[in-house]
Amino acid sequence: MTLTMRRRPVLATVLALILGLTPTAVAADPVAAAEPAAAPLTADGLTTERGTDPIGLDVAKPRLGWRVESTARSVVQESYQVRVATSRARLNDADVWDSGRVRSRQSTLVAYAGPALRPRTRYAWQVRVWDTAGRTSGWSAPASWETGVGGADGWRGDWIGLPPPTETWTDYTVQTTVRLERDAAGIFLRAHGPANAYMWQFSITGGTAKLRPHVRVDGAWSLLKEVPLGAVVPADKLTVPHTLRITAAGDTITTWVDGMQVDVTRNAAHAGGSVGLRTSGTETGVFSDFSVTRGGAYLFAAPLTDGENPFGGGTPTAGGLRVTGNTEAMLTALDANPLLRRGFRVDGQIARARIYATALGVYRLSLNGRRVGDHELAPGWTDYRRRVQYQTYDVTGQLRQGDNALGAMLGDGWYSGTIASFGTDHYGSRPHLNAQLVIDYTDGRTETIATDGFWRATPARSCRAT
């Protein structure tokens, strides 16, 4: 025991030297080490519906998100608290919604759960978080979102555009030369897009020539009759060029083939409209010398052999416009993308100004000669028969006291342009705009300039939507 007791100080000294300590430090009373400073915990990068301070949200319960940041490792959010107010100044005593502390690790797409939101209102919000060690971030820097018009009930504008020249075509004669390469080809007449039109089909299926008049209403086809053409087009002449002439007068449509009258059909489904060409499946035809006349005057004429294509489909060749497959090609040469304009006055101090805009087709806005926003091909492709998206623009800084001018240029887009094998005019025949500029003045007044009959329209023949 004595030997062991003697060696303890030596052993302690050796260990202290190995560890880089002095012997006296080991013998002295230990002093409590200071606690390391807690790593800061913050919540930032706030988003609403994945956007930073967005405007024009027509969402009943916007989804909120944030980033949790810390210099420490393995930090995990344990809970959060969100508060929403009608202004940043009111966040300390939130007058809209306070979630209270919510135990959840969710920090993305957290749904707002407060009272119903008001249209065209800006809301401020912020968040604080706690981690699993019980530390809190403190409140984040405020973010915001602004609601939209509140759905369809909030719209004041009308759909406006420029009617096509063919809208006034009622009684007229279509004439063309067609050479069938396979099966059949058709001519649209009195068409308001391919979904509402007559379609006179020239067919050689089964080795015999036939005229097959159709009517189409809201996309539904009806075959009116089948007229044998063997007396005019013998079996050995099926694939040579033939001249078709179709005259629509009132409810009577008369057809000639190679100068011989072959049919008279009476139908009152469509009173007027444009023309076009059609094939389906394996059908293939080559058209040339196409014209539309009324009372001896030409409404439209094209040789179709010069490389130009006035229709929304088909392939120009030296022999004519070759149409094949599932093609519904309406006449587009006379269509011009409209330019729209509305003048107005501003007579007070502006608090804020917003444009809410959409289109059947695509649009681009300008205000006082400057482009509005940076969207391309807005409002985007949807099933226009069911819903249309709209965009919101902050134009507070683009308005001026006195006279102002709001303009728009429209394009066919997916609404009335060509969509792959669907052809042209799949949803409608002409683009339209629906928009409203809402100005809030500092004296409490609100003024709305919406699309209506006071806008001016003119064709922009040098413009083409691509």
* Residue carrying structure tokens 């099933």: 383
Burial of 287 (0-12, 13-18, 19+ CB in 10 A): buried
Q: Is the pLDDT of residue 20 over 70?
A: no
Q: Single out the residue in 152, 184, 219 at which a domain terminates.
A: 152
Identify the pLDDT of residue 461.
56
Asked whether residue 137 falls in the same domain as residue 280, the answer is no
Q: What is the per-residue pLDDT across 170-208, written as a single tens digit (0 to 9) for each? A: 999 999 999 999 999 999 999 998 999 999 999 999 999
Rounded distance, CA 159 to CA 29, Å? 87
Asked whether residue 53 falls in the same domain as residue 132, the answer is yes
Asked whether residue 218 falls in the same domain as residue 291, the answer is yes
Instruction: Tell how far CA 46 is from the center of its chain.
Output: 26
Identify the pLDDT of residue 3.
29
Kindly state the DSSP code that residue 109 receives in the 8-state scheme: S
158 within some domain = no
- Structure tokens, 127: 């968040």
Task: Evaluate the omega torsion of the peptide bond into residue 379 and state whether it is cis, within 30 degrees of 0.
Answer: yes
Q: Single out the residue in 123, 152, 181 at which a domain terminates.
A: 152
What is the span of the domain harbouring residue 25? Answer: 1-33
Identify the pLDDT of residue 358.
97
Q: What integer best gives the mean pLDDT of the chain? A: 89
- Structure tokens, 89: 């100044």
Q: Is the pLDDT of residue 7 over 60?
A: no
User: How many domains does the chain divide into?
Assistant: 4
- Residue percentage of the chain with pLDDT more than 90: 80
Q: What number is the average pLDDT over the span 401-405? A: 97
R_g over Cα of the chain: 37
Q: What is the per-residue pLDDT across 326-381, written as a single tens digit (0 to 9) for each? A: 999 999 877 778 899 999 999 999 999 999 999 999 999 999 999 999 999 999 99
Q: Single out the residue in 99, 131, 152 at which a domain terminates.
A: 152
- Residue percentage of the chain with pLDDT more than 70: 90
Identify the pLDDT of residue 332.
83
Confidence of residue 29 (pLDDT cuts 50, 70, 90): very low
Q: Is the pLDDT of residue 313 over 80?
A: yes
Q: What number is the average pLDDT over the span 437-450? A: 97
Q: Is the pLDDT of residue 37 over 50?
A: no
Confidence of residue 460 (pLDDT cuts 50, 70, 90): confident
Q: Taking the model in full, what pTM does it have?
A: 0.67
Identify the pLDDT of residue 39.
60
Q: What is the per-residue pLDDT across 286-301, written as a single tens digit (0 to 9) for each? A: 999 999 999 989 999 9
Burial of 108 (0-12, 13-18, 19+ CB in 10 A): exposed
Contact between 193 and 428 (Cβ < 8 Å) = yes
Contact between 365 and 357 (Cβ < 8 Å) = yes
Asked whether residue 317 falls in the same domain as residue 368, the answer is no
Asked whether residue 226 falls in the same domain as residue 255, the answer is yes
Confidence of residue 275 (pLDDT cuts 50, 70, 90): very high
